[in-house]
Chain A
Amino acid sequence: MITTFLDIVISGLLMGGIYALIAVGLSLQYGVARVLNISHGEFIMIGAFGTYILYKTAGVNPILTLAICGPVLFLIGFFLYKTLFKILLAFSDSAEIFEGKSLLASFGLLFIIQNIAILIWGADIKSYSFLNIGVDLGGALFPANRMVTLLFAVVISMTFYLFLAFTRMGKAIRAAAQNPRIAGLMGVNINQVLALCFGFGALMASFAGGLLSMCYPITTTMGMEYTVIAIIVVVLGGLDSIVGSFIGGFLLGIVGSIVTYIEPGLALVAYYAIFIILLLVRPTGILGK
């Protein structure tokens, strides 16, 4: 009984780590830059494929690849904001109009990125084997790659949190999240900060993608599923709370693990049910005011 319980919790945490990472990225992009990025999952997919290709063709260690793909996707995200979303922001009369327009634009990006990927990499399922050995945890066996994944997800999130809490740039980001106009008046280069946040969001997605590819099969159409999960987690944690997204990720991971234990077919139903009920009862999220 206790072993089963531990089994459920640990596999929940393992999945939750990835969810948290994905959600923190999306939360940065929405909470600060006000872009509900529907193409978030496509960045995850690029991160995953980058890792896969480098491992298969050049034998590069997937963990090392995190440090290669991450910065590349950061730059892509950064310049995407500097071009596309900056223009949109300039043409939008209000924050609400910008939110609507940027949501649709990111939907367009989803199509562009996904189909370029299909044209290059095809639509087949791909996977590789990395650290696929069992580790005994309290009587249950867990694959080592998933432990590594969890470890990295936590380390990356923590590092980022410390960055937000203690560095000058982190403070500028938090100020911009609360009130971009006032932050601008206080001398924060607001366009730069928003672009950085979008870049950081893409960076997180890339990390998550790399970690995912170590444990699960990947396809060029995998993005949407993770985007949806990220949106659910972000709503769960409160649309503009980065800490909330982190906690929400683990929470959803555990809920998913419990439901999967009871009835595997209902995991996604449960996610959406939680999501819809939460939106109705508490749209500001579990940590919201």
Chain B
Amino acid sequence: MDITTLKSKKSLIWWTVIFTIFILLIFLPFYTQGYAVVLLISILVYVILTLSWVMFSGSTGYMSLAPAAFFGVGIYTSALIGKVFPFPITVLVGGMASFILAILVGALTLRLKGIYFAIFTFGLVMLIAYSLLFFEIQVTGTRGRFVIVMDYNTIYFYMLGIFMLLLLTTYLIKNSKYGLALRSIGQEEDAAAHTGVNVVGVKVMTFAISAFFMGAVGSVMATKLTYIDPFIAFSTTYSFMPVAMAIFGGTGSLYGPIIGAAILTYLEEILITKFAEVYMLIFGAILVAAILYLPDGLVGFIQKIWRRLMERNHVDT
């Protein structure tokens, strides 16, 4: 058989699978009881954060520990203007606020290399959290704020919408010349610059686009939290979890981060209420094990085994 028809047949199957999953996800709230929706919301939050993180850090190799900053900006946007504007506007503003913050941060810091960038982005989250706490206590006189409440189905549909948009954006970037530029930056930044790639521009723009989605999902998440304060909104957990989930799932493909986030969030959901310490302990152990033994993540590992099985079958026949 011709290789191209084989390829297009394969991608046709893929698209059918993806389409079916989305149809199922859209109709899910109409035929299940509350818990499945709540669980899927938690999974979607981390899936969106992880995929957004991979969009920038996975290809460029710049390890950003700033997801919590952008997520938190989204949460606060929702707390500040959620009661005034229609909700879609709030989500959009939350995303744009993070987008703008990311452009500022990116323009300042993306010349920092390696570990410095990771440290800086980590410090940024804490700086915002402590400054905001000081401001809230001194100026507004309260520590936290209440956010408008929405029902779970509505939250779910917003999350699903953001997820679909993110998936589409990631897919388009990956298959465009900018995706190629990002990978070239990750592998040999100097050579990319001398081959005509505006490295700073591409980096800052991608960083900002990924921040948009983190901010948007933050402003939806706020309505689920209902009450927030600077340390709830800017919790470093939201910076580290996406990184760990991406590493666990594998950053080489689109579905690696999704699978990684889904599995770990599910684990969190079943363990955290009763055995919070045990969950965190297992989480730490999984992270260390993944770094040691799954250099290409779970998905890379499965692909490797799959390939080996296929080869063996070939030999047998």
Question: Do these two chains really belong together in a complex?
Answer: yes
Closest A residue to B115 by CB, please name it: A99
| Count, chain A residues at interface, CB 8 A | 40
Cα A265 to Cα B139 in complex, Å, equals 12
Closest A residue to B288 by CB, please name it: A108
Q: Flag whether A155 is at the interface (Cβ < 8 A).
A: no
Partner of B285, one of A87, A101, A112, A280: A112
A109 touching B281 in the complex, CB below 8 Å, given contacts A279-B112, A279-B123: no
Could you tell me if B281 and A100 are in contact, using CB atoms closer than 8 angstroms?
A: no
Cα A118 to Cα B279 in complex, Å, equals 12
Could you tell me if A280 and B280 are in contact, using CB atoms closer than 8 angstroms?
A: no
Could you tell me if B292 and A84 are in contact, using CB atoms closer than 8 angstroms?
A: yes
Cα A104 to Cα B53 in complex, Å, equals 15
**B residues within 8 A CB of A280?**
108-109, 112, 120
Choose, from A140-148, A169-177, A211-219, A267-275, the stretch at the interface.
Answer: A267-275
Choose, from B15-23, B129-137, B158-166, the stretch at the interface.
Answer: B129-137
Closest B residue to A30 by CB, please name it: B115
| B84-118 vs A, Cβ < 8 Å mask (1 yes, 0 no) | 00000000000000000000000011001011101
Could you tell me if B118 and A269 are in contact, using CB atoms closer than 8 angstroms?
A: no
Q: Flag whether B126 is at the interface (Cβ < 8 A).
A: yes
Q: Flag whether B240 is at the interface (Cβ < 8 A).
A: yes
Q: Is the interface of B mostly helix, strand, loop or mixed?
A: helix
Q: Flag whether A184 is at the interface (Cβ < 8 A).
A: no
Q: Flag whether A91 is at the interface (Cβ < 8 A).
A: yes
Could you tell me if A272 and B109 are in contact, using CB atoms closer than 8 angstroms?
A: no
Could you tell me if B288 and A84 are in contact, using CB atoms closer than 8 angstroms?
A: yes
Cα A84 to Cα B291 in complex, Å, equals 10
A110 touching B284 in the complex, CB below 8 Å, given contacts A279-B112, A283-B116: yes
Partner of A272, one of B114, B127, B277, B291: B127
**A residues within 8 A CB of B41?**
none
Q: Flag whether A222 is at the interface (Cβ < 8 A).
A: no
Could you tell me if B112 and A108 are in contact, using CB atoms closer than 8 angstroms?
A: no
Cα A273 to Cα B129 in complex, Å, equals 12
Shortest Cβ distance from B296 into chain A, in angstroms? Answer: 12
Could you tell me if A269 and B130 are in contact, using CB atoms closer than 8 angstroms?
A: yes
Q: Flag whether A266 is at the interface (Cβ < 8 A).
A: yes
**B residues within 8 A CB of A164?**
none
Q: Flag whether A14 is at the interface (Cβ < 8 A).
A: no
Cα A107 to Cα B285 in complex, Å, equals 10
**B residues within 8 A CB of A273?**
127
Taking A103-B118, A112-B281, A116-B281 as known contacts, 8 extra A-B pairs with beta carbons closer than 8 A to each other, sorted by chain A number, are: A36-B119, A105-B287, A107-B240, A108-B244, A109-B288, A112-B284, A112-B285, A279-B116
**Residues of A participating in the B interface, judged by any CB pair closer than 8 Å:** 36, 84, 87-88, 91, 96, 99-101, 103-105, 107-112, 114-116, 118-119, 224, 228, 231-232, 235, 239, 265-266, 268-269, 272-273, 275-276, 279-280, 283
